[in-house]
């Protein structure tokens, strides 16, 4: 997995497992696997004098209406690509792992339903 934080021309921050899209030895784009939009929200003022981060990180599906989990993005739309902070990486890995578990469970449920229906 090559998990990256990507800033897009649209201003969005996206975290995804990124693969290069190469044609004739030239990178023409990227495949974002399980892309999620990263959103920072303010926690408000710290009243107890602690030094915790004043922001909360939320991640949401980047293209929630798509069935696709591998989305091509042209190279011109990528402004910058970098390593995410550890907290964001852990959150992303948990979201993707949970998604894969739910998908596997749905496949098993569908197979059991088909087996039961054929009786």
Domain that holds residue 35: 3-117
Distance of CA 43 to the CA centre of its chain: 23
Domain count, the chain: 1
For residues 34 and 71, give the distance between their C-alpha atoms in angstroms, rounded to a whole number: 8
For residues 13 and 53, give the distance between their C-alpha atoms in angstroms, rounded to a whole number: 19
Say yes or no to pLDDT of 119 above 60: no
Least confident of 16-20, 64-68, 79-83, 110-114: 110-114
| pLDDT at res. 100 | 80
Q: Partners of 90 in the beta sheet?
A: none
Task: Give 90's Cβ-side CA count (13 Å radius).
Answer: 4
Residue of 55 and 94 predicted with greater confidence: 94
- Name the pTM for this structure: 0.76
CATH of the domain at 75: 2.30.30.100
**Residue indicated by tokens 């749905």:** 106
Say yes or no to pLDDT of 36 above 80: yes
Task: Using pLDDT thresholds of 50, 70 and 90, give the confidence band for residue 113.
Answer: low
Q: Partners of 19 in the beta sheet?
A: 31
């Amino acid at each position: 997995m090559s998990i990256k934080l990507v800033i897009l021309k649209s201003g969005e921050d996206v975290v995804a497992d990124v693969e290069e899209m190469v044609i004739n030895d030239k990178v023409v784009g990227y495949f974002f696997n399980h892309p999620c939009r990263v959103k920072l929200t303010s926690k408000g003022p710290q009243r107890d004098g602690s030094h915790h981060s004043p922001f909360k990180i939320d991640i949401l599906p980047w293209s929630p209406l798509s069935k696709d989990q591998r989305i091509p993005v042209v190279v011109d739309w990528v402004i910058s690509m970098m390593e995410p902070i550890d907290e964001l990486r852990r959150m992303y890995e948990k979201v993707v792992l949970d998604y894969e578990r739910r998908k596997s469970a749905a496949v098993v449920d569908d197979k059991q339903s088909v087996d039961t229906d054929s009786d």
